[in-house]
Chains A and B, each alone.
Chain A
């Protein structure tokens, strides 16, 4: 942390690393440089290929013991084999904090960095989104997204911290999906996540999932959004320097409302 250096918080992030034994060691040389480059590493889901305990051990080997806090959310791949509790246990045994609608405040050089995370889910974006209507399966789909977004919003708002970062796997805005086929946007994210992010003075929102998407976007409330999916950033991780004054103290983000965000 460079707390005395004009209050700069340094966040490293990558998502969609899809670890298995064949990937072990590929990220490690770059990760070894993290203590000099970042205050924390955030992993934006799809840490494994199929969500097995064995693959989670590969994640633990590659991303554990880095000398900086590592905070993760899971992605859809990490749910595939229904071994989520075992995956989380393996990651947490390696010191990787897994957020599922929860938060964590890191104390770095006098600055409190609040990180709220949730996997997220699909549904689409305002004006072109699914609704809680019709068949039970359709209603369950949107209720799932709404419940996760609600948890994310609470997790963001309840933190007592100086700077807030939101971490999801699914996208909160369509901006960072540019490059993906329009037809699959509803499977890549939901405006409900963006609305949750805008309900708190969030400094930065990070997500993955959209391999063919693009890096930069903003929520309707003005929060910077970055797609850190590994195929998008094309490097071991990206580093963001967050400069004071932060959104929570400057009043830059004002959209604290439960109504529609666009």
Chain B
């Protein structure tokens, strides 16, 4: 089988899931290891949290660029950076 994973011609499979996971980690503009990629019906859902809105936009842009015909839902939040309101007492 010589199909290029991720062209979006077929429903997403294990290979496409792996290709997107590696893109998110290995692409120099992303380098995110903490995102999850899951298949849902005929689309993929990318979930997780990142440190800036710019990173979220970049992930969306690159996934669309690499897999233009694939229905992808990107559900990525920003990690909050407020000061803690409680401490943990260790006795």
Contacts and interface: CB of A to CB of B under 8 A. Distances in A.
A126 interface: no
Given A230-B79, A241-B89, A241-B90, A26 B51 contact: yes
Contacts of A161: none
Interface in A1-39: 10, 16-19, 22-23, 26-27, 29-30, 33, 37
Contacts of B82: 30, 235-236
A31 to B, nearest CB: 8
Interface string A222-262: 00101000110011111111110000000000000000000
Contacts of A89: none
Contacts of B90: 203-204, 224, 240-243
A26 B81 contact: yes
Interface in A88-139: none
Interface of B: 28, 31, 33-34, 36, 48-49, 51-52, 54-55, 79-84, 87-91
B60 to A, nearest CB: 15
A29 B79 CA distance: 15
A236 B85 CA distance: 11
Interface size classification for chain A: 35 or more
B31 A234 contact: no
19 contacts: A10-B87, A16-B34, A17-B51, A19-B51, A27-B81, A30-B81, A37-B87, A49-B31, A77-B31, A80-B31, A231-B79, A235-B80, A236-B81, A237-B84, A238-B87, A238-B88, A240-B87, A240-B90, A243-B90
Nearest to A9: B90
Interface string A36-55: 01000000000001100000
Interface of A: 10, 16-19, 22-23, 26-27, 29-30, 33, 37, 49-50, 77, 80, 203-204, 211-212, 224, 226, 230-231, 234-243
Nearest to A81: B28
A4 to B, nearest CB: 17
A236 B84 contact: yes
Nearest to A26: B81
A87 B34 CA distance: 23
